[in-house]
Amino acid sequence: DVKVTQSSRYLVKRTGEKVFLECVQDMDHENMFWYRQDPGLGLRLIYFSYDVKMKEKGDIPEGYSVSREKKERFSLILESASTNQTSMYLCASSLSGTGSIQYFGAGTRLSVL
């Protein structure tokens, strides 16, 4: 079974802190994704990566950056956390190509105080 592991289930940070959310997948997938999920807004894509060191902006990249130094790991970075970044963050991975299924981690619920 594909396993996508997010480093924390719950995280509480202060405004202005630098925050790292880590995601690791064990199926040698080319693609990795970071979403945030908010009530009434569904899942929104922040960034995705289709190869090591490659990244593309999603629909809401402002205030975030990402890093993919190894194929299995995709990090989401909040350079200076703000209260409006309080949300559920979901990581996913998939094979490349059309018709690929995305496999999700359990999510990280981030609260920025």
Binding site for another protein (CB under 8 A): 4, 31, 33, 35, 40-43, 45, 48, 50, 58, 88, 90, 92, 94-107, 109
Q: Which is nearer to another protein, 39 or 69 (CB)?
A: 39
Q: How far is the CB of 49 from another protein (least distance, A)?
A: 11
Name residue 104's beta-bridge partners.
92
Q: Which is nearer to another protein, 9 or 15 (CB)?
A: 9
Q: How far is the CB of 45 from another protein (least distance, A)?
A: 7
Q: Which is nearer to another protein, 69 or 101 (CB)?
A: 101
**CA–CA dist 67, 89 (Å, integer):** 16
Of 101, 15, 28, residue with least CA distance to 71: 28
Give, in degrees to the nearest 5, the angle at Cα 66 between 99 and 30. Answer: 30
For 44-61, b/e burial (b = at least 16 CB within 10 A) is ebbbbbeeeeebeebeee
Residue partners of 62: CB distance under 8 A and separation at least 6: none
Q: How far is the CB of 4 from another protein (least distance, A)?
A: 7
Q: Which is nearer to another protein, 34 or 82 (CB)?
A: 34
Q: How far is the CB of 80 from another protein (least distance, A)?
A: 27
